[in-house]
Copies of this chain bind each other. A is one copy, B any other.
């Protein structure tokens, strides 16, 4: 899978989860000590985030990191 597509998918999934929680980018960001802009960049797929950053985001969304990752490579090996 292409890098760009992968990152866009990740961002879209994160946004879905956040919307389901009914919180804004700013609320999510502040709950983990970050800025709205930092969270926004991930959500639009404009950056390739680090592992620990994703871990913090998952924490803010109150889901396991697994949930945030899930589905992207799902049909390639399983």
Candidates B49, B54, B64, B73; contact of A58 at CB < 8 Å: B73
Main secondary structure of the interface of A (DSSP, over half): helix
When chains A and B are docked, how far (Å) is the Cα of A10 from the Cα of B69? 15
Which chain B residues border A10 with CB–CB below 8 Å?
Answer: 51
B59 adjacent to A73 (CB under 8 Å): yes
Size category of the A interface is 20 to 34
Candidates B52, B58, B66, B72; contact of A3 at CB < 8 Å: B52
**Is A6 an interface residue when CB atoms closer than 8 A count as contact?**
yes
B64 adjacent to A78 (CB under 8 Å): yes
Given contacts A6-B52, A48-B52, A51-B51, 18 further A-B contacts (CB under 8 A): A1-B55, A3-B52, A6-B51, A6-B55, A49-B50, A49-B51, A55-B72, A62-B77, A63-B77, A64-B73, A64-B77, A64-B78, A65-B69, A65-B72, A65-B73, A66-B70, A66-B74, A69-B69
